[in-house]
Amino acid sequence: MKSHLFSIALIAIVLSACAPGKFTVSDPWARPAQARGTGAAYLIIENPVAQSDALLSATSDVAQVIELHKTVMMQGDVMQMIQMERIVIPANSKTEFKPGGSHVMLINLKCDLKSGDTFTLTLRFQNAGEFNLAVKVQDR
Ligand SMILES: [Cu+2]
């Protein structure tokens, strides 16, 4: 009986070790910004799944318009932001949205974003579905 229980416990451990990791979105933050101005939100997306995903849209009450942007280097070393219809999240990847890279652009803010504030941002992914994030406003 005892050895039977032991083998069940062992199977449980092996199963949990083999379970695929979960798609996660972490560390959402935004720089302080002023009402009627623009802001940007950054975060980390981890996709340990063997299937690519795509960020399709972002919504929040703090801005009138929200776009997905990528920062690209143009000719003459000029950095320019371009709007993306979707941002592909490759399989087995860690994608960091950060200043100078991909970001969620908050256009025409309805209120000030002050350091220490938190606001809700909802991201919609093609496969992983919706994520409601509490974005921290921080001076990083
Ligand atoms: Cu932008």
Segment 7-52, tens digit of pLDDT: 666 666 555 555 568 999 999 999 999 999 999 999 999 999 999 9
What distance in angstroms lies between residue 56's CA and the mean position of ligand 1's atoms?
16
Q: What pLDDT is attached to residue 8?
A: 64
Structural domains for the chain: 21-137 (2.60.40.1890)
What distance in angstroms lies between residue 8's CA and the mean position of ligand 1's atoms?
52
pTM for the whole structure: 0.84
Q: Which tens digit of pLDDT belongs to each residue from 78-106?
A: 889 999 999 999 999 999 999 999 999 99
Q: DSSP states of the chain as a string?
A: -HHHHHHHHHHHHHHHHHSPPPPEEEEEEE--B-TTS-EEEEEEEEE-SSS-EEEEEEE-TTEEEEEEEEEEEETTTEEEEEEES-EEE-TTEEEEE-TTS-EEEEEEESS-B-TT-EEEEEEEETTTEEEEEEEEE---
What distance in angstroms lies between residue 2's CA and the mean position of ligand 1's atoms?
61
Question: Average pLDDT of 64-88?
Answer: 93
